[in-house]
Amino acid sequence: MSRKQLDHTLLALAALVAFGLPLVVTSPTYLQILILLFFYAYLTTAWNLVGGFAGVLPLGHAVFVGIGAYTSSILTLQYGVSPWIGMLVGGLIAALVGVVIGLPTFRMRGAYFCLCTIAFAEGIRVMIENIDALGPLRINGPRGLLIPLKDASFWHYQFMSKEPYYYIILTLLILVLALTWFISRSKIGYYLAAGGEEPEAAAALGINVANCKLLSMALSCFLTALAGTFYAQLMLYFYPKGLMGLDLSFEIAFIALIGGRGAIAGPVIGALVLRPLNEFTRIYLSDMLPGLHLVIFGLILILVMLYKPQGLTAPLAALYDRLARKITVPGDAR
Amino acid sequence: MSNILEISNLTKHFGGLTAVSSLDLHIAQGEILALIGPNGAGKSTVFNLVAGVYAPSEGTIRFKDREIHGQKPWDLCRMGLARTFQIVKPFAGKTVLYNVMVGAFLHTGSTHKAREKAEEVLATLALDHLRDNPAGNLTIADRKRLEIAKALATNPDLLLLDEVMAGLRPTEVDDMIAIIKGLRDRGVTVFVIEHIMRAVMALSDRVVVIQFGQKIAEGAPQDVTQDENVIKAYLGGEYGAA
Amino acid sequence: MTAVIQAALNGIMMGAMYGLTALGLTLIFGVMKVVNFAHGSLLMVGMFSAYWLIRLTGIHPYLALCIVPPILFVFGYYLQDVVIKPVFKAERQVREPLTVIIVTTGVWYVLDNLALMLFGAEYRTVRTAISNKSFALGEFIISVPKFSGFVAAMLTAAGLALFMRKTKTGMALRATSLDREAANLMGIDQYRVYNIAFGLGTAIAGIAGCVLIPFYYVYPSVGVVFDIRAFIIVVLGGLGSIPGALLGGLVIGLIESVFSQFMASTWTEAIIYAIFLVILFVKPSGFFGHKQDW
């Protein structure tokens, strides 16, 4: 078969396995683990739209998860709006906040943008932790929001079992991966790549680099907020430190960086490898030394950046390439 | 509109240094104009002023009868003004085809059309055999051609070429001269900065000479190179009498 | 009215110490053109070093000032040399060394979590010889530790400025910050300069640590709060400017202190962030920064 056929077959197989998994794995505990795995893979892929494609480093992205969660939850709790609609509203607000942060900083050095994302993420989180109510909106400060059980239904975005959640996050993940793939092949993708590599040359070719970055930022923040609503509806409880903290922001960024931030599959592969690793080290090492798994995680990042700054996906892709060449017929090679 | 570019009284100060002073210059559509002068004369500054990298301190620049000073480089490109860089800036991690497609996307949103346009430009510049090579692996001569290809893909009416001959061997210079003449035949007006006199003589319809930011001569290549002031500027006072 | 002036005085002293933390950051940026994301963690290391030193030996904080900064200088010097320099070298050609930022973020992460692992998350404080002392200035009360901090900040800034202007090493630093290639051609080893700059920046964080410990809590993520403050100050004052860092610190300290007389501290924070946003939009190069630096 040709290389293209091989790629497509493997992709189809992976999709089949992913969709069929709940038929085999029935324990809610394991389903929950898979759901969270896909949740992280989704977040890192959405992050990649800015971090990989636009060539800047957002280090406070968890704040958009929080914006999504808070928006949809407040709208549900106090105004009875369906979380699906609240999700879209949250996405729009997140996109707006992202644009406000990006507008002044995309014209400057990358470091400014990084630090501003951290500064504003922490600023917003601290403010939410200190506010009980903002006018008529009940925010509840550090205690977070609790969503009461309603009748399980699609409209209420609540379900009795784990399977629907599994399929929702899987669908979201596939959508965001498809979007990423599509963008990389489109005008905006080419423009972002050019602007990231040689901004002056890109400008001379008609590219308004800052605007392109703003577009990818808005998109990324929107998508990230959608995951916030998903999390709120999955867990039915969240609080600022857990959902909007730097820990989550850094974890998202680090996973994408270790996986490979330019590649489409990089963040997903990073999530598939690192999330289990993190959980594993946390469970087995935390009794002795709490926080050791985080130190290890940080050290992995430093080591990967020192020796393979493009991420781990690049050597893996090269390996796949070599193997694929052995078993496929050249011809339709591109 | 016969003058595609009209510069009047152009002046640029950088703090206490006046890089360009009261420069008047025009280019007719379809011309090839060369801007020459000793090192530090202000040639690149003129280019950067026209290309929107700097804003003039005084004076006006009109492109296709519109005042353009203060516009950003990307807006100017959309208006039909393209440029190359003296130190070439390829997107080194991407293929040659990708590089040119970036330029080709200016007038289309479709990846397919951009690829077609890019392949056409690559063929014009005899680069299509390198289309899948990473741009960072090219020789200097090919990189210079790629630089022109990128700019050409944006369908410019006026193309600013900044020392494209620098670093090329004599045969490569001849090839480049042929390419630039070919550009003019395709309807592109060309504005070059050049040091290699052979190219200037072979290519240009008119030459403008500047020194210390001021125009000291203008005219046909043969006349300008005999001009006393020009000789003095390049070679020093003793050679002035001719 | 008295309360406001008292608050203003406290704000100026606290602001000077904020400026001190920003000083190291602005120095490292000025010379290396890189924002050191690990700066807050280095401050935390300084604070914990001072904490353990005083807690275990009971020495006077002024004495700690002689011990901790040199140790931190060495720590910073070798951190830069071993961890950051290789990445710098690899990214020599790149206009924006993003991987350096990532690595310093990694260092931040590792240091903070190492502290969490070793010391636990609780807030600690230590009683020192000067902790509760204060003196009167007219009708106002000046706390001794805060005043010492103010003096230390001023002296450090002055000392740094003198060092940069008068000593050979200082001039090497300034030369590298202006044009690293030219400096290289003049025989200045740019990487050694970076090591020194980083070591100095860390040492200044050590001074800040010693100065804060008599009256401030220390805990593993204390660096984050100061880091963000320091960054806002550095933007306000201009990246790379020593007087700018001090001035910016004083402004922030004043605003924080005076405004909290009239409103809850959450809203004071919000105001500081609002000012930060305005500066970013209107004059991102700050008071004394150069337009091309960013």
List A residues 149-178 in contact with C (Cβ-Cβ < 8 A): none
Which amino acid, residue A166? Y
8 Å CB contact of B91 and A208 = no
Query: Which residues of chain A are within 8 Å of residue C83 when distances are taken between CB atoms?
Result: 302, 306
Cα within 13 Å of Cα(A276), Cβ side: 8
Helix axes C222-237, A110-130, angle to 10 degrees: 130
The answer to whether residue C184 is domain-embedded is no
- B96 — contact with chain A (CB < 8 Å)? no
8 Å CB contact of A298 and C109 = yes
Query: Which residues of chain B are within 8 Å of residue A196 when distances are taken between CB atoms?
Result: none
8 Å CB contact of B91 and A194 = yes
The model carries a pTM of 0.87
Apex B23 CA angle, B18 and B26, nearest 5 = 150
Residue C94 vs residues A106, A199, B199, C104: alpha-carbon distances, Å: 18, 12, 33, 17
Q: What are the extents of the domains in chain A?
A: 3-327
The answer to whether residue C24 is domain-embedded is yes
- Residue of A47, A115, A296, A303 best to disrupt the C interface, most CBs of C under 10 A: A115
For B196, residues 6+ apart whose C-beta sits below 8 A from its C-beta are B165, B166, B173
Q: What distance in Å separates the CA atoms of residue B177 and residue B85, rounded to the nearest whole number?
A: 17
With a cut of 50, say whether residue C33 has pLDDT above it: yes
Chain B: nearest CA to A61, how far in angstroms?
28
With a cut of 60, say whether residue C294 has pLDDT above it: no
Domain B3-80+156-240 annotated CATH 3.40.50.300: yes
Mean pLDDT, range B185-190, rounded to an integer: 91
Determine contact, residues B202/B177, Cβ cutoff 8 Å.
yes
Only one residue has tokens 């004043």, namely C254
List A residues 234-273 in contact with C (Cβ-Cβ < 8 A): 246, 250, 253-254, 257
Query: Which residues of chain C are within 8 Å of residue A112 when distances are taken between CB atoms?
Result: 35, 235, 280, 284, 294
**Stretch(es) of chain B classified as CATH 3.40.50.300:** 3-80+156-240
Enumerate neighbours of A (3 or more CB pairs within 8 A): B, C
Residue C285 vs residues A242, B54, C246, C288: alpha-carbon distances, Å: 35, 19, 15, 7
Q: pLDDT tens-digit profile of A150-187?
A: 777 888 888 888 889 999 999 999 999 999 999 999 99
Apex C179 CA angle, C176 and C184, nearest 5 = 65
Mean pLDDT, range B57-78, rounded to an integer: 90
pLDDT of residue A329: 74
With a cut of 60, say whether residue B10 has pLDDT above it: yes
Distance of CA B131 to the CA centre of its chain: 24
pLDDT of residue B61: 92
Q: What distance in Å separates the CA atoms of residue A306 and residue A316, rounded to the nearest whole number?
A: 17
Determine contact, residues A144/A239, Cβ cutoff 8 Å.
yes
Residue in C closest to A245 by C-alpha: C224
- A295 — contact with chain C (CB < 8 Å)? yes
CATH number reported for the structural domain that contains residue C103 in this entry: 1.10.3470
Exposure pattern of A121-151 as b/e (b: 16+ CB <10 Å)? bbbbbbbbbbbeeeeeeebbbeebbebeeee
Determine contact, residues B54/B12, Cβ cutoff 8 Å.
yes
Q: What distance in Å separates the CA atoms of residue B220 and residue B200, rounded to the nearest whole number?
A: 10
Chain B: nearest CA to A242, how far in angstroms?
39
- DSSP annotation of C199 reads H
- Sort residue A90 into left (φ over 0), alpha (ψ -120 to 50) or beta: alpha
8 Å CB contact of A205 and B93 = no
Determine contact, residues A90/A232, Cβ cutoff 8 Å.
no
pLDDT of residue A323: 87
Mean pLDDT of chain C: 85
Q: What distance in Å separates the CA atoms of residue C65 and residue C48, rounded to the nearest whole number?
A: 13
- A298 — contact with chain C (CB < 8 Å)? yes
Q: What distance in Å separates the CA atoms of residue B29 and residue B63, rounded to the nearest whole number?
A: 11
Task: Name the percent of chain A lying above pLDDT 90.
Answer: 44
Residue in C closest to A287 by C-alpha: C117
Determine contact, residues B164/B192, Cβ cutoff 8 Å.
yes
Which of A98-107, A234-243, A314-323, C94-103 is least confident?
Answer: C94-103
8 Å CB contact of A305 and C103 = yes
Of B108, B111, B150, which is closest to A205 when you measure between CB atoms?
A: B150
| Closest among C257, C260, C235 to C247, alpha carbons compared | C235
Residue in A closest to C94 by C-alpha: A197
pLDDT of residue C291: 55
Chain B: nearest CA to A282, how far in angstroms?
38
The answer to whether residue C33 is domain-embedded is yes
With a cut of 70, say whether residue B241 has pLDDT above it: no
For B123, residues 6+ apart whose C-beta sits below 8 A from its C-beta are none
8 Å CB contact of A190 and B98 = yes
Chain A: nearest CA to B161, how far in angstroms?
12
pLDDT of residue A334: 47
Task: Name the percent of chain C lying above pLDDT 90.
Answer: 22
Residue in C closest to A55 by C-alpha: C98
Strands (E), chain B: 3-14, 17-28, 32-36, 58-63, 66-67, 81-83, 158-162, 189-193, 206-211, 214-219
pLDDT of residue A135: 81
The answer to whether residue C270 is domain-embedded is yes
8 Å CB contact of A305 and C99 = yes
8 Å CB contact of B91 and A206 = no
pLDDT of residue C94: 63
Can you read off the two tokens belonging to residue C160? Answer: 């740094």
Determine contact, residues C27/C196, Cβ cutoff 8 Å.
no
pLDDT of residue A333: 47
Domain that residue C95 falls in: 2-158+189-293
pLDDT of residue B157: 94
8 Å CB contact of A197 and B94 = yes
Which of A124-138, A281-295, B136-150 is least confident?
Answer: A281-295
Of B73, B94, B111, which is closest to A204 when you measure between CB atoms?
A: B73
Can you read off the two tokens belonging to residue B42? Answer: 């202000």
8 Å CB contact of A197 and B154 = no
Residue in B closest to A194 by C-alpha: B91
Mean pLDDT, range A241-261, rounded to an integer: 92
Q: pLDDT tens-digit profile of C199-210?
A: 999 999 999 998
- Residue of A50, A109, A130 best to disrupt the C interface, most CBs of C under 10 A: A109
- DSSP annotation of A153 reads B
Of B82, B102, B151, which is closest to A194 when you measure between CB atoms?
A: B102
Q: What distance in Å separates the CA atoms of residue B223 and residue B225, rounded to the nearest whole number?
A: 6
With a cut of 80, say whether residue C177 has pLDDT above it: no
> Rg of chain B's alpha carbons, rounded to an integer?
18
Residue in C closest to A103 by C-alpha: C281
Q: pLDDT tens-digit profile of A39-57?
A: 999 999 999 999 888 888 9
With a cut of 70, say whether residue C46 has pLDDT above it: yes
- B97 — contact with chain A (CB < 8 Å)? no
Query: Which residues of chain A are within 8 Å of residue C224 when distances are taken between CB atoms?
Result: 122, 246
Residue in B closest to A207 by C-alpha: B74
Q: What distance in Å separates the CA atoms of residue A323 and residue A6, rounded to the nearest whole number?
A: 11
Mean pLDDT, range A199-211, rounded to an integer: 91
8 Å CB contact of C280 and A105 = yes
| Closest among C222, C191, C242, C223 to C78, alpha carbons compared | C191
- DSSP annotation of B130 reads G
8 Å CB contact of C117 and A306 = no
| Closest among A311, A53, A269, A61 to A181, alpha carbons compared | A53
8 Å CB contact of A208 and B72 = yes
For C77, residues 6+ apart whose C-beta sits below 8 A from its C-beta are C195, C196, C198, C199, C202
